[in-house]
Amino acid sequence: MEIRIRPYGESDLMAIQRIWNEVVEAGNAFPGDAPLSLQECRGYFASQSLTAVAELDGRVQGLYILHPNNIGRAGHIANASYAVSSEARGRGVGEALVRHSLSQLRAHGFAGLQFNAVVSTNKVAIALYEKLGFTKVGTIPGGFRLPDDSFTDIFIYFHPAPEPEKKK
């Protein structure tokens, strides 16, 4: 079981549309509440600083997007979103995606990675982020509407860009 991460290409669009929309439709992790059409996916994923896919057993099973968290004087901090197909969860794809995104920060001009809306009920993601050294820097009470129309907290997390490896 080898996980390979690479930049996405046009031939990946249907797979990443399926995976992205699966997470959107579950309603418990992404703030968006409408699935993306193939045309919307094409524009959205092309507009990112980096869109990368994870292949597991030769199939695209996950993706992430990396882009500035803000504009201008705050544009040096990145934001990212991750999506893993339900059939590949628990197989290390999410961790590989997060690790890869951290390794890409400096190459894309970012000094750190900020998550604005980690849903408090997303215990798997929270455990992963904390394992990888992210710091929870804030809580927005009731900041996320769940599918049953109740509200739960969202957390803000930060991780500085890893230092470049020193040449020997």
Residue 110: inside a domain: yes
Count: domains in the chain: 1
At residue 79's C-alpha, the angle toward residues 74 and 82, to 5°, is 175
Residue 160: inside a domain: no
Residue 44: inside a domain: yes
Taking the model in full, what pTM does it have? 0.94
Under the banding of pLDDT at 50, 70 and 90, the label for residue 164 is confident
Q: How many residues does the chain have?
A: 168
Residue 150: inside a domain: no
Q: What domain range is 32 assigned to?
A: 3-115
Can you name the residues that pair with 81 across neighbouring β-strands? 65
CATH of the domain at 19: 3.40.630.30
Assess whether pLDDT exceeds 70 at residue 106: yes
Reported as a single tens digit per residue, the pLDDT across 77-90 is 999 999 999 999 99
- Kindly report the average pLDDT of the chain as a whole number: 96
At residue 47's C-alpha, the angle toward residues 36 and 42, to 5°, is 40
DSSP for the chain, please give it.
Answer: --EEEEE--GGGHHHHHHHHHHHHHHTSS-S--SPPPHHHHHHHHHTSSEEEEEEETTEEEEEEEEEESSSGGGTTEEEEEEEE-GGGTTTTHHHHHHHHHHHHTGGGT-SEEEEEEEETT-HHHHHHHHHTT-EEEEEEEEEEE-TTS-EEEEEEEEEEPPPPPPP-
Distance CA 10, CA 13 (A): 6
Distance CA 151, CA 87 (A): 28
Residue 145: inside a domain: no
Assess whether pLDDT exceeds 90 at residue 168: no
Reported as a single tens digit per residue, the pLDDT across 28-74 is 999 999 999 999 999 999 999 999 999 998 999 999 999 999 999 99
Residue 135: inside a domain: no
